[in-house]
Amino acid sequence: MDQRVITPPAQQPDIPENGSHKAAGGVRRVLGAFWSHRWFILVAVIAAAIGVWQVARILIGPAIAVDIVQRGDLVQTVVASGHVETPYRVEIGSQITGTVNEVLVEEGLTVAKGQPLIVLDSSELKAALVQAQGALAQAEARQRQMKELTLPSAKEALVQAQAVLLNAQQIYDRAAQLLSRGAQTRVAVDEAKKALDVARTQVRSAELQVFTASPGGSDAVMVETQLAQAHANLDSASSRLAYATIAAPRDGVLISRTVERGTVVQPGKALMVLAPAGETQLVIQLDERNLGLIRLGQPAVASADAYPDERMQAKVVYINPGVDITRASVEVKLGVPEPPLYLRQDMTVSVDIETARRDGTLIVPARDVHDGNTASPWVLGLRDGRAVKRPVKLGLRGQGSVEVIDGLGMGDAVVPIGSGVVTGKKIRAIRP
């Protein structure tokens, strides 16, 4: 019987782990630990960053944007608001009492001189005109009668009276001669004398008639006076009839109207207000504190609030000598040589009056100046990385900038007020 020997399998020897496998396991363990404590680590990193940032701020200071003193052109202006106005306005009213039949224009319309605006009822005025025309015709007829009939008749009567006087004188002279010779009676002479006296009286009466009917005589003067009165009455009636149509006294724009059809109007009451065409002015109320800066002839730039992007040139033409004590302001008027078409009466405007100009001067933004309206203005400058107080002397003040006469130089850095930096603080300046 065969006898087999079974040999057990040889055991595999233990193989030591590879070094790379150990390293990978270590990384996994580290990553696992990091992930399990990730929030704590993140907070620690942020805290460390903040600490570094705070240390940096302490050591080098915060970053602050500064302004640099530069040379430039500076214009000092005074700003005020006002309105558009003509140098004067015309109030249009009625010269008679009457009822309005028609109103021919609307408010805001441009009218020409002589253009009818309002028509009043004129029936009574037309009747008065007809009566005046009749009275004039009668006066003219009396004048013609004086020239064509009365005066020639008086002259003819004078000639006849003179002839009668001459005849009576001759008769009297013959009777007187005959009486001296005894050939005539006293009665006949007396009759001749009476006839002569009557003839002389008739001549004097005829002469008076001629004189009164002649130019300069009483009758002629009376007729001429009546004629002149008739002409005056006719002119008055014509004028009153013309007053029934109220016309524009000159070219312009109607800026107000207070009358309608059927209104009973009376003299002295304004029915319309006319802004005459021509010169346009801007009227502003200037703070009296700026009065010392304003001079006649100073240029200005204005804009209407309704058209803020449009600009118009103006010039100071009037400064009221008095001050409005209730508003502490002074009325100033500016002429507009070329008013734009969009300009309207009473339109609100903003005006910048140029009071002074400097070219090539040192300027600094107004936002950098402390106590700018006092006698001791100052700014925060830089010295060795720290903010230092620097007194300055200011000159002109423009829109957003001021002139520096003393205390700063070209290229100096200035810290804005709004940065929150105080004197002595270390900062890191960021120049523009």
* Residue 138 C-alpha from the chain's centroid: 55
Mean pLDDT along residues 219-243: 91
Q: Is the pLDDT of residue 6 over 50?
A: no
Q: Do residues 147 and 220 make contact, with C-beta atoms less than 8 angstroms apart? A: no
What pLDDT, on a 0 to 100 scale, did the predictor assign at position 21?
Answer: 54
d(CA 232, CA 219): 20
**Tokens encoding 114:** 């002589």
What pLDDT, on a 0 to 100 scale, did the predictor assign at position 119?
Answer: 94
Is 37 among the domain residues? no
397 shares a domain with 290: yes
pLDDT digits (tens, 9 = 90+) for 68-117: 999 988 888 899 999 998 888 889 999 999 999 999 999 888 899 999 99
What pLDDT, on a 0 to 100 scale, did the predictor assign at position 398?
Answer: 83
pLDDT digits (tens, 9 = 90+) for 313-361: 999 999 999 998 898 899 999 999 888 888 888 899 999 999 888 888 9
Whichever domain contains 409, its CATH number is 2.40.30.170
99 shares a domain with 168: no
What pLDDT, on a 0 to 100 scale, did the predictor assign at position 12?
Answer: 45
321 shares a domain with 253: no
* SS3 call for 284: strand
pTM to 2 decimals?
A: 0.56
d(CA 319, CA 55): 62
Higher pLDDT, residue 163 or 180:
163
250 shares a domain with 236: no
Which residues are within 8 A (CB) of 292 and not within 5 positions of it... i.e. 6 or more apart?
none
What pLDDT, on a 0 to 100 scale, did the predictor assign at position 386?
Answer: 86
237 shares a domain with 330: no
Please say which residue of 275, 293, 320 terminates a domain: 275
420 shares a domain with 305: yes
Is 33 among the domain residues? no
Is 21 among the domain residues? no
- The structural domain count of the chain equals 3
Per the structure, the complete domain to which residue 113 belongs is given by 90-120+245-275
Mean pLDDT along residues 299-325: 92
136 shares a domain with 83: no
Is 4 among the domain residues? no
**Tokens encoding 231:** 């002409």
416 shares a domain with 300: yes
232 shares a domain with 152: yes
Is 46 among the domain residues? no
pLDDT digits (tens, 9 = 90+) for 7-36: 444 444 444 445 555 555 666 666 666 666
Please say which residue of 275, 292, 317 terminates a domain: 275
Please say which residue of 259, 275, 291 terminates a domain: 275
pLDDT tier, 215 (very low <50, low <70, confident <90, very high otherwise):
confident
What pLDDT, on a 0 to 100 scale, did the predictor assign at position 8?
Answer: 46
Is 107 among the domain residues? yes
432 shares a domain with 293: yes
428 shares a domain with 347: yes
137 shares a domain with 97: no
Q: What is the DSSP letter of 399?
A: S
Mean pLDDT along residues 238-262: 91
Among 333, 283, 343, which Cα is nearest to 312's?
A: 343
